[in-house]
């Protein structure tokens, strides 16, 4: 089970190309592409970083070698931006 959740002051909206986050306290926006959006949806749905990377490897075999590193990097970037709670 994932321990990832949106921070309390963050709103997330799906867009045509992925998703957009708004941090309501800072007024800053962030946009994710389709793959980033898919990763976040899996994590918020309860998948762990490891199971999310496995699902991404299955869907995108050409990116299999990089999937785990990309999932971890996205989690760290979103946490650094205070978009995700621990």
Pairing mode, if any, of strands 84-85 and 28-32?
Answer: unpaired
- Domains present along the chain, CATH in parentheses: 5-85 (3.90.930)
Pairing mode, if any, of strands 84-85 and 10-15?
Answer: unpaired
Q: What is the pLDDT of residues 27-49, one digit of tens each?
A: 999 999 999 999 999 999 999 99
Query: CA 14, CA 3: separation in Å to the nearest integer?
Result: 21
What pTM, to 2 d.p., does this model score?
A: 0.89
Helices 34-44 and 67-80, packing angle to 10 deg: 80
Q: What is the pLDDT of residues 48-77, one digit of tens each?
A: 999 999 999 999 999 889 999 999 999 999
């Amino acid at each position: 089970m994932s321990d990832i959740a949106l921070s309390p002051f963050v709103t997330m909206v799906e867009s045509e190309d992925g998703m957009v986050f708004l941090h309501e306290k800072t007024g800053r926006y962030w946009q994710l592409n389709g793959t980033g959006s898919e990763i976040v949806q899996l994590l918020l749905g309860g998948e762990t970083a490891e199971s999310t990377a496995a699902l991404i490897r299955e869907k995108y075999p050409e990116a299999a070698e990089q999937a785990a590193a990309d999932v971890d990097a996205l989690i760290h970037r979103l946490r650094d931006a205070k978009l995700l709670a621990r």
